[in-house]
Amino acid sequence: MIQGIGAAAGVAIGKAFVLPNWEWSLPDTQVNPVDLAKEFERLYEGIRTSKDEIEFIKKEFRDVVGPEESSIFDAHLAILDDPVFMSEIRGIIERQYKAAEVAVKEAIDHFVAMFDLLDDEYMKERAVDIKDVGNRLLKHLLGAPEVTLPSDTQPYILVAKELSPSQLAHLNPAYVLGIVTMMGGKTSHSSIMARALGIPLVAGLENKLPVPIQTGDMLVLDGDTGAIMIHPDEGTLKEFNTRRAIQLKKREQLELLATVEAVTKDGVCLRLACNISSVKELNVALKYGAEGVGLFRTEFLYMDRSSFPTEDEQFEVYKLVAEQVGKDSVVIRTLDIGGDKHLDYFQLPEEQNPFLGYRAIRISLDRTDMFKTQITAILRASHYGHVKLMFPMISSIEELLEAKALLNEVKSELDARGVPYDPDIQVGIMIEVPAAVMIADLLAEEVDFFSIGTNDLVQYVLAVDRMNEQIAHMYHPYHPGVLRMIRMTVEAAQRAGIDVSVCGEMASDERSLPLWLELGISVLSMSPQALLKVKHRTLNTLASEAREIAKVCLRSRTSSETEEQLNAFVKRSVTLGAGGDARGRTS
């Protein structure tokens, strides 16, 4: 047994498929100067073949997932046409008389090392693209066989050094039993996505394996504890097959709760909404009984394309979501790019610290043309359902008033055009930065609702970058400073008589339920996969008892004291089906 980090819960049993690291070790082969023309010919033939291959893959993906998702391969084609990258390769061949494959490898290493030095997650992702494209070119130059994922008829446990969110987005969760990564931890974007997809994941195994995992090795992974077993014996297989069967049975029983209201045993109602990035996610959430959309992350409409989406393109998506949700509300957050979210066609400045830089509402207020286009599309969609509009990363009254002024401009323009919209559309803000918490009473006078984005709030309150593995262990959602900030926000909203919800990772953590019950938060928005788990916990909770636990937590001096209380709350025995009433509660 090898101990890693349990990053996404669940048990997986199956054969491994190991993704290559794209790291080649080549001898420093030089060629006779008279043969340089031959090396250039080999290089250009490899480029042509690689382009043809990428175009074919792009078409295959487009047929399955549509044009927007498949456009990721346009970036790969652009690398093979990039004059700087190709000039580097040609220069090594021409000046150092090196073989084409050696020149390609050195160029890849040069650019990847250069990008990795930058404190910019987007550029690091571009380094992954260069490795991917360069590996494809090397494959043709070396005559190496194609590496493909197993057929969809053969479910597998995916093993990789690291996985980017874009890679995870293209996996079929129906055939990926589990994921093992050498790098990463609980707070990485890949781990968050794996939890949303319901795929068990164990991370952080770098330098812990006695021997490397090979494709075809039988694995057992436990995403709850972070343990993996290679070539388990019959007894271990039997034990984990039993655990997995229990988990699958529990999942089936949880799905019976989809149409049940989230009400505690003593009658306190919660509304469980969903966080979505696409219509596909909405369909899953509605299947699991989501009561509306608490956070529609619109930036994903802007990604994997070559230009900003038009007003009509956005309107059609927002309208479809509003109509599908029906009587429940849809909170649409305006564009939140910057930090770790970038657009290929919109050049952002290089920044020392992008998370404290040009991002979210700051970009929107700077690019009012783009901002007004999005607001227009959202307002038009509000005619077709219960739509609310939300601004991200507000830190001052000035920002909020400027955004509201633009909203009023758009309303006047729609009136002039004779286009219908909801003139009383509710306007809210994300509470994500400490400054917003400290002036929450002033902000509450200007909006209809608050939504607490705990992911960023925790990061900014604690000055901890959750993507930095060296300090990720300091990212504590239950830090007393974080809990006090949340309480201050809720109290300000309640004094002003406006609604307040929670839409970060803490909303989907069933341990947090006592806090929400004590603070009086009745709306939680979470990933579709977390809905039934939180609902089940709610049905099996006495609000009066949970509030007493929360009072202790809100007086705690350390994160560990709070976690001890909340972990004990979760470990209390609850049942599904047998022993419970028709709503799935314990007797």
Q: Which residues contact 500 (CB under 8 A, 6 or more apart)?
A: 449, 450, 451, 452, 489, 490, 493, 494, 521, 523
Catalytic: which of 140, 503, 536, 553? 503
List the Cα angle 455/458/463 in 5-degree steps. Answer: 125
* pTM attached to this predicted model: 0.71
Q: What is the pLDDT of residue 394?
A: 98
C-alpha 366/C-alpha 344 separation (Å) is 19
Active site residue 170: no
Q: pLDDT-based confidence at 365, cuts 50/70/90?
A: very high
pLDDT above 60 for 579: no
Please compute, for residue 559, the number of CA atoms within 13 A of its CA located in the half-sphere on the CB side. Answer: 11
Whole-angstrom Cα distance, residue 357 to residue 119? Answer: 13
pLDDT tens-place string over residues 235-275: 999 999 998 888 888 878 888 899 999 999 999 999 999 99
Q: Out of 76, 140, 189, 479, which one is annotated catalytic?
A: 189
- Quote the distance between the C-alpha of residue 569 and its chain's center: 28
Q: Tell me, what's the pLDDT at 145?
A: 65
Do residues 395 and 434 make contact, with C-beta atoms less than 8 angstroms apart? no
For this structure, is 553 an active site residue?
A: no
Q: And the tokens for 533?
A: 């788990």
Q: Which residues touch 205 (CB under 8 Å, ≥6 apart)? A: 2, 4, 180, 181, 182, 228
- Asked if 14 contacts 229 with a C-beta cutoff of 8 angstroms, the reply is no
Per-residue pLDDT tens digits for 48-100: 998 988 887 777 655 544 444 456 677 788 889 888 989 999 999 999 999 99
Residue whose entry in the numeric block shows the structure tokens 């996996």: 171
Q: Measured between alpha carbons, how far is 274 from 45 in angstroms, rounded to an integer?
A: 49
| CB-based contact 540:586 (threshold 8 Å) | yes
Between the CA of residue 47 and those of 51, 64, 190, 227, 491, what are the distances in Å? 6, 26, 31, 42, 61
Q: How confident is the model at residue 174 (pLDDT cuts 50, 70, 90)?
A: confident
Which pLDDT band holds residue 172 (cuts at 50, 70, 90)? confident
Q: 3-state class of 348 per DSSP?
A: coil
Q: What is the average pLDDT across 25-43?
A: 86
The CA dihedral of 378, 508, 394, 490, to the nearest 10 degrees, is 110
Question: Tens digits of per-residue pLDDT, 455-492?
Answer: 999 999 999 886 665 777 788 999 999 999 999 999 99
Per-residue three-class SS string for 188-230: CHHHHHHHHHCCCEEECCCCCCCCCCCCCCEEEEECCCCEEEE
For 486-525, write each residue's pLDDT tens digit.
Answer: 999 999 999 999 999 999 889 999 999 999 999 999 999 9
Q: What is the 3-state secondary structure (H, E, C) of 31-43?
A: CCHHHHHHHHHHH
Judge whether residue 214 has pLDDT over 80. yes
574: confidence class by pLDDT, cuts 50, 70, 90: low
Residue 342 has pLDDT above 70, yes or no: yes
**Burial code of 445-465, b = ≥16 C-beta within 10 A, e = fewer?**
ebbbbbbbbbbbbbbbbbebb
